[in-house]
Chain A
Amino acid sequence: MATPSKTPPGADPKQLERTGTVREIGSQAVWSLSSCKPEAVGINSSLMCLPSTCPGFGVDQLRDDNLETYWQSDGSQPHLVNIQFRRRTTVKMLCIYADYKSDESYTPSKISVRVGNNFHNLQEIRQLEMVEPSGWIHISLMNPRTNEPISTFMIQIAVLANHQNGRDTHMRQIKVYTPVEESSIGKFPRCTTVDFMMYRTIR
């Protein structure tokens, strides 16, 4: 088998945001992890540990817009990141930042994305393999049949395997995007020219 080609990095999500087609909604959700490495003292991290108990390598680091800090898991596989929304939300894509050069054996290689209403009825909708990623990985969560973004209460990202069969994983940043309905009136796709957009709304 030929050497699998490295997963190319995707575009910086910030650029995507600027186009106005997507909006980051991670702030509207409650994040939790299956485990995370505690700061200094060796506290046995339990399942569903909350960020407050894990300074240094927890959810905060996963959501702090800083690619230097990361979440480090501390348990058995699969490592889980749970994203729970207050209400049913359409999600278009996920962006995960992974860097093989800095994380090596901690870099996730197989990721499964599951959605559902709660912990008990999650269904896997995407599974992807990454080979030595070195940047942003875009995971599109569009329903392949209807080509619509999925609408869900909860998303679970499961790290099933790491590079070099590492046990724990590092995840530097995760972003969740919802599509933006640009058109303020009418069920039309967004307009592209400034001339049109000027008249779209009264501000």
Chain B
Amino acid sequence: MTVLQEPVQAAVWQALNHYAYLDAVFLAERLYAEVRSEEALYLLATCYYRSGKPYKAYRLLKAHSCSTPQVRFLLAKCCVELSKLAEGEQVLIGGVLNKQKRCSADSPTDRVAKGAECFQRSLTLNPFLWSPFQNLCHLGEKPDPDQVFRLSSLQNCSIAPPPPSVSPAQNSSHRLDTALMETPQDTLELNRLNLESSNGKLASDLSVSYIDSSLISPDTGSLLGNTVSMASAGSLLAKQNKPKSGRSLLGGPAALSPLTPSFGILPLDPSPGDPTYLQNYSSTMETQTTAPSKKAVSRISQSKSVFSQSGNSRDVLPIPFNQSQTSAPHSSGSPQVLSPSMSGPPNVQPRRSSRLFTSASSTAKENSKKLKMKFPTKIPNRKTKCKSAKTSNSTNLNESLDILRLDPSLSLPETKIPQYQRAAAGTIMALLRELGRGYLALCSYNCREAINILTSLPPQHYNTGWVLTHIGKGYFELAEYTQAERMFSEVRRIESYRVEGMEIYSTTLWHLQKDVALSALSKDLTDMDKNCPEAWCVAGNCFSLQREHDIAIKFFQRAIQVDPGFAYAYTLLGHEFVLTEELDRALACFRNAIRVNNRHYNAWYGLGMIYYKQEKFNLAEIHFKKALSINPQSSVLLCHIGVVQHALKKSDAALETLNRAIGIDPKNPLCKFHRASILFANDKYKAALQELEELKQIVPKESLVYFLIGKVYKKLGQTHLALMNFSWAMDLDPKGANNQIKEAIDKRYLPEDEGTHSERVSEPGTDEQRGKRG
């Protein structure tokens, strides 16, 4: 049976590798019809999933019992894609892959603490993972980048921390994607775990299983090599140590024939030539020693295609590093073995990496699938055997196996090659640490620090969309909109396909009232990708700036339809409803935003605003303070809190808050304005005047300033100055035709007992007449 299957399987993998999904699906269907085995089922489901039809894979897998881990994993992944989170979790829990994917289900189903725990664990297991770190930041935890992104955790995985959490439960699909993405590293790590730790604890089992599932992700090529060696190593260890169920996973799913071809070891190698894989693999080992950063660059360019699917706007950078890195530390034996045999010139590496990456399916999904397929190979031994059957490459593997057999502890081999790999890994880790620190600072709204950290990155990383976007976001949160706009326009210039972060750009333009730029951005994005919520948010902002609120509402609703998990769309919709005075609907929108993302301080602010409009000042203050607890550096928020406190008659507290706001951001004119108005309300005219004079220097063209000055002078009795300022205010605001200003001027004349004006005749009658005429 295997003989019959293998050519077909090879053909299917070939088709998948070349993105010929129609062919792959067709062949897989024929194969499944012919051979009703779980492997064929898995292959068919993989073809469906990779061709972008998770529902087909889901229904197919549901209809049949799934016993093997990779099948369960795929089913869980489909569940996550189709938002059937509870079911996905069930599937995962039911199988050996116990805790792995549970994390993915955890976060979305709001078990935040568990999700955070899972993320932490996954980070300890595999420090190359970025998405768990990102997720932790989003959840409000503060993972320490220096702790997380450490090579030592890679090296000494004998800790065997509970691997379950490996797959961070980002937004389930994300998580799975990332999990899959990370698999190579994970697998490597797991293998390392297996290699190094002699404890056959459940943890390692799980980690193994995690690796199994996680392996599926990217880059079949490198993984093939890796997993093969891993598997062999793992199986060896498994033999030596008490074989755990998890470990058997290493070998177990190997039974799935789809894996075998992908490994390239076996005859049914769908990918472009088996030798290349192993070569690639070994060469990666080699080349890692040389110029790691250069490697990274070349890899990055290729890996970008591989990893760009993760859906996060995260930096692709770490991954390729990981790949190379993981391969390095992992097969302690295999690199050694392979390197001598396969050692090629260092320049082979970049070449290889391209092959590695491009030959593999480009989408992470595909990769993950592939990895999945690859990984769950049951019996590494079998693989290695098959390998040996294949090419000289396999002989290398056999050799490595032998070596592994010889030295299970594999401590010796590690000394040589891991050194180089460690250096390369060290570079990546350093980069990840920096990025992690910057990202963490941004998520805790320490925007200055974040900007500093991110700006000090080396230029090749600085000039990437991810970094610039996050710097722009930092400026945005600081309300430095001109700087933010500069950053974002740079992003648009270098990465015009980037949509993540564009909604922030559109809000920046909205604040700056640059309607031309905003409408151009809106048109560009909606033309490019109609299925991303960011594009529709931009369109909505564009119309909101044009004051066409009904159309803006329509677009924001469209953004929500496209992605119901996008909190910012709800917030923007809420703001639009506030502008159209539909406060109930606005309340509902803001609450939805908070439901989606508890740390979305804009939504808390929005709620506070509505309560302020409804004059429920206590509630307003509570909500503003909640927003402030999330973002303590926002001077605008502090300003609002100050105003609310003043409305609650807590003027001292208000003044203090405003002082704090001005301390944080001296350029915020509104804080000074409100401070002046509070001083005015408390009859501290001199102080108010002083404040306003300073304000006049900052914003000389603002009519409100003159209006308030006028009022102060009026109270002080200096009517001529008051009148002068009022007329200036009116001049500056002709269209507004502020009734208040007019009123202020008119009222001036009504009580005519003062007669302080020198030009006034002290006759009450004439005064009145003059007043009326005025």
Contacts and interface: CB of A to CB of B under 8 A. Distances in A.
A17 to B, nearest CB: 5
A202 B602 contact: yes
A186 B674 contact: yes
A199 B738 contact: no
Contact of A188 (B627, B677, B742): B677
A20 to B, nearest CB: 6
Interface in B546-568: 546-547, 549-550
B639 A192 contact: no
A203 B518 CA distance: 15
Interface string B734-749: 0111111111000000
A192 B511 contact: no
Nearest to A202: B605
B740 A201 contact: no
Given A18-B546, A189-B741, A201-B636, 8 more contacts: A19-B735, A21-B737, A148-B739, A185-B643, A189-B736, A191-B704, A203-B575, A203-B602
A189 B699 contact: no
Contacts of B639: 185, 199
Given A202-B634, A203-B575, A184 B735 contact: no
B547 A20 contact: yes
B612 interface: yes
A200 interface: yes
25 contacts: A20-B547, A23-B580, A185-B612, A186-B643, A188-B677, A188-B740, A189-B704, A189-B741, A192-B702, A192-B703, A192-B704, A192-B732, A195-B669, A196-B670, A196-B699, A196-B704, A198-B481, A199-B669, A199-B671, A200-B636, A200-B670, A201-B636, A203-B507, A203-B511, A203-B572
B609 A184 contact: yes
A195 B733 contact: no
Contacts of B486: none
Interface of B: 479, 481, 507, 510-513, 546-547, 549-550, 571-572, 575, 580-581, 601-602, 605, 609, 612, 627, 634-637, 639-640, 643, 668-671, 673-674, 677, 698-699, 701-704, 707-708, 732-733, 735-743
A202 B623 CA distance: 14
A176 to B, nearest CB: 14
B699 A195 contact: yes
Given A194-B513, A199-B669, A202-B636, A188 B605 contact: no
A203 B506 CA distance: 11
Contacts of A121: none
Contacts, number: 103
Interface string A16-36: 011111010001000000000
Interface of A: 17-21, 23, 27, 147-148, 184-186, 188-203
Interface of A is mostly: loop
Given A192-B704, A192-B736, A27 B513 contact: no
B640 A185 contact: yes
Contact of B735 (A21, A185, A191, A198): A21
Contacts of A21: 735-737
A52 B674 CA distance: 52
Contacts of B612: 185
B644 to A, nearest CB: 8
Nearest to A203: B507
A147 B547 contact: no
A20 B546 CA distance: 9
B534 to A, nearest CB: 15
A18 to B, nearest CB: 6
B623 to A, nearest CB: 12
Contact of A186 (B511, B677, B699, B702): B677
Interface of B is mostly: helix
Contacts of A27: 550
Contacts of A185: 612, 639-640, 643, 674
Contact of A189 (B549, B627, B677, B740): B740
Nearest to A181: B613
Contact of A191 (B512, B671, B703): B703
B547 A17 contact: yes
Nearest to B612: A185
B510 A189 contact: no
Contacts of B668: 199
A189 B707 contact: yes
Nearest to A89: B581
The 3 closest A-B pairs by CB, nearest first: A189-B738, A199-B670, A185-B643
A193 B729 CA distance: 12
A112 B227 CA distance: 86
Contacts of B510: 203
Given A147-B739, A189-B738, A202-B634, A195 B479 contact: no
Contact of A198 (B511, B572, B698, B738): B511
Contacts of B708: 188
Contacts of B670: 196, 199-200
Nearest to B729: A189
Contacts of A186: 643, 674, 677
A147 B742 contact: yes
With most chain B CB atoms within 10 A of its CB, the pick from A19, A185, A191, A202 is A202
Contacts of B549: 23
A147 B741 CA distance: 12
B274 to A, nearest CB: 56
A144 to B, nearest CB: 12
